[in-house]
Structure 1
């Protein structure tokens, strides 16, 4: 549990980051200031379109850099195992029994009781 950012939070950060930048890109594309140009001044319209393209391009580059950083955080906080429902300890992926309480993950997945039989008592 010593994670800096929990996996679920980092997943939401990626979604929110992408949504905000999508809104920003759409707003940048739709707000062309070429209406401020005098009629017939093609140079002003072309310059305005070029400025819009450069601005939107920079927004896309910023989005991509942030997306890569957040995706790396998401990958690094990935769980290395699963929690045992019986005792709460973390078990490695691929293990079929909990090393702490002998809970049977395979049996529980098939709908059978997952608890192992009690150990035989030594007489």
Structure 2
């Protein structure tokens, strides 16, 4: 009897889930570090540079996240079998 606690998904499905969790964690950590970085700056120029770097960094993480999701999603769709292979059906005109 199978356990009902853990769904029986394909390996690629688990990889997509792990990738999304890792990217979310990376984004949260990067934004948290960016928020704390402004306290070490002494001048206005330093704070502005930190804000710009934080924005670029956050968009870079989001870009990698979206690119990875698209690639993994395409791989998931390509490897997903919806029908079991069976006898080949004839196409075209049939003679009776």
Return 5+ residue gaps in structure 1 as ranges. Answer: 1-6, 83-89, 93-123
Q: Could you give the per-residue CA deviations for residues 89-123 of structure 1, whole angstroms, max 9, x where no partner exists?
A: x448xxxxxxxxxxxxxxxxxxxxxxxxxxxxxxx
CA-atom RMSD in angstroms:
1.7
Alignment of 1:8-27 (within 5 A): 8-27=10-29
Return 5+ residue gaps in structure 2 as ranges. Answer: 1-8, 88-96
Q: Give every structure 1 segment of 4 or more consecutive aligned residues whose post-TM-superposition deviation is greater than 4 Å.
A: none
Task: Count residues in correspondence.
Answer: 77
Q: Which of these two proteins has the greater Rg computed from alpha carbons?
A: 1
CA distance in 2, matches of 1:80, 1:11: 15
Cα deviation for residue 42 of structure 1 reads 1.6
Please identify which structure carries the higher helix content.
2
